[in-house]
Structures are given as structure tokens and as C-alpha cells.
Amino acid sequence: MSLLVCGSLAFDTIMNFEGRFAEQILPSQLHILNVSFLVPSLRREYGGCAGNIAYGLRQLGSEVVPLATLGNDGQDYLDRLNAMGVDTRHIAAAADSYTAQAMIMTDLDNNQITAFHPGAMSHAHTNPVPVRQDIRLAIVAPDGRDAMLLHAQQLHAAGIPFVFDPGQGLPMFNGPELEHFVELATWITVNDYEGRMLCDRTGLSLEALSERVEGLVVTLADQGCEVWQRAKRTPVDGVAATAVVDPTGCGDAFRAALLHGLAQGWDLTRCVALGNRMGAAKIASRGGQNYQFDTNS
């Protein structure tokens, strides 16, 4: 079985602020916000949700097919994916755009401020879900707005179960659109903040949302996660990291494990337990695609 990962491919420029955002921002002055952060360290990494999830799936030995779009500067990224054994046949190229770029700044509390240039990702809706017999499970991760809507519809029409992972793309959608995603999806995964926003925009509680899908997962960073199924909440303990270095890509590592477990037919709590281990392994290294995961650990 091949796993289809619909999402972005991007270059991440990662910066570290050796302070705390909360100490630099005056809540009473947000309407005239004008701040600058000194970032002594800066590096460029391969990223994007589809790329990070594909990397995690290859760490677990799964066959993965990204559905994504690179820009005219993306050949190195394509070469990297091919070297990892990723099926790149459905990665399109937008000749008149740069590959999507994320500029991520992290403070001492692992809070992050991100600026994102979509670039080639804006053309992702022109790259349809492929018709292939070996693809029987998918994830719709953050991507161009139109692409997320279209790919969810195409997967549902093809009878391919999928995980809806709105991530940082969630604010692009209104309540009815998010409800439509829920109707089409088989599973949903969000972090705590995204879960609150999803509930706020749809007017539905986590309990109610979980009645509409086979499972809803809410990640809680080092506190583990909550698994909601048929309005029943099951907590799953977190895993202590050997070091807390960089949170970039932790959510994608978790989702790779979730998708891998679902492909094996595991129950949802076992899937997310693996996800917690993957997230702990990822946070101990810099960038979204540099960690190594021992499946026997």
C-alpha cells in the first residue's frame, strides 16, 4: 500500500530568538505593534508538511506518494526525495514561481512566529489526486486553500479514507467549509489551539465532532494527546524527549506515525502512542527532516 500525502513542500528558514516573545510584546499596544527580534542563528532546511510527513513515513518504512508542487528552485528538494525512496511522480513544477518559503522564529519557550510565502503552493489545486490502485489511504495536510478543498473532495469521491489535518491552514476556512471537510474525512488531527479554533468556527464541540468521524486526535505537545471516538475521550501519555532543541516539524512527525499506524490497521490509541514517540525524537534535533527514529526503541 502507498500512502498519499497531500500538502506543501517548502524551504524553512529557521531563526532562534534568545529571549521570550511575551517579554517583548506589550499587550496594550498590539494595535501599533512594531517590534524587531535579534536572531543570532539562522539556517535553511527542507520542510513543508508533505515533505516532513514523507520523511517520517520513510523512517518507518512506509511507501509514500506526495501530491505537491515545487517551484523553479526546487530541483535539489526533488533529488533529495528521490534519494530517500519517495515516489515523486506526482510532484508538479511551477516554472514561474519559487518553492514555498517559511520563515520561522522560535523563542526560548518554543513559541513560534512564522511568515509564509506560498509560491508554487498556490498552484497545487492544478495537481489532482492520482488514480492508482495502490493508494488506499491519504492525508490532507496544509497546502493551498483551493488544493485542500479539491483534494478532500477528490479523495472522498474516489472512496479513499483520509486524515484531515488543517494545521496552520485552518484559519483560511470558515465554519461551513470546515464542516464540509469533517463530512468528507475519516479522521481529524489537530493540536490544542487548532482544536479550539475548529470548535469555535463550526460551533461543534470535540465530542460532537468525534461523532461525525472515526476518530479525532488532539495533540497536547509534551502532555501527550487526546483520542476522541464516538464522544468518548481517551488520554494517551506523552513521551519525554532526550532534549528539547527545535519544535519545527514535530506535528508532521506525529502525523507520519499516525498515518503509518492506520495503514497497519492499528487502533487509534496505538497509532498516537507511536506518534508521541516520533514527536519526541524529532524535537531533539534541528529542522523537520534531520532526526533518526529507531522503530525498536
Active site residues: 252
- Three cell numbers, residue 235: 488520554
Q: What burial class does residue 221 get, using C-beta atoms within 10 Å of its C-beta: 0-12 exposed, 13-18 middle, 19+ buried?
A: middle
With CA atoms as reference, report the closest residue to 222 among 190, 244, 248, 198. Answer: 244
d(CA 96, CA 288): 26
With CA atoms as reference, report the closest residue to 286 among 44, 84, 37, 7. Answer: 44
* Residue 19 one-letter amino acid: G
| CA angle (287 as vertex; 281, 291 as ends), nearest 5 | 35
Task: Evaluate the CA torsion angle 200, 201, 203, 205 in order and state its sign.
Answer: negative
Helices (H), the chain: 21-24, 49-59, 75-83, 145-157, 175-184, 192-202, 206-210, 250-264, 268-283
d(CA 139, CA 266): 16
> Whose grid coordinates read 492499528?
266
With CA atoms as reference, report the closest residue to 289 among 70, 43, 119, 97. Answer: 43
With CA atoms as reference, report the closest residue to 220 among 256, 241, 195. Answer: 195
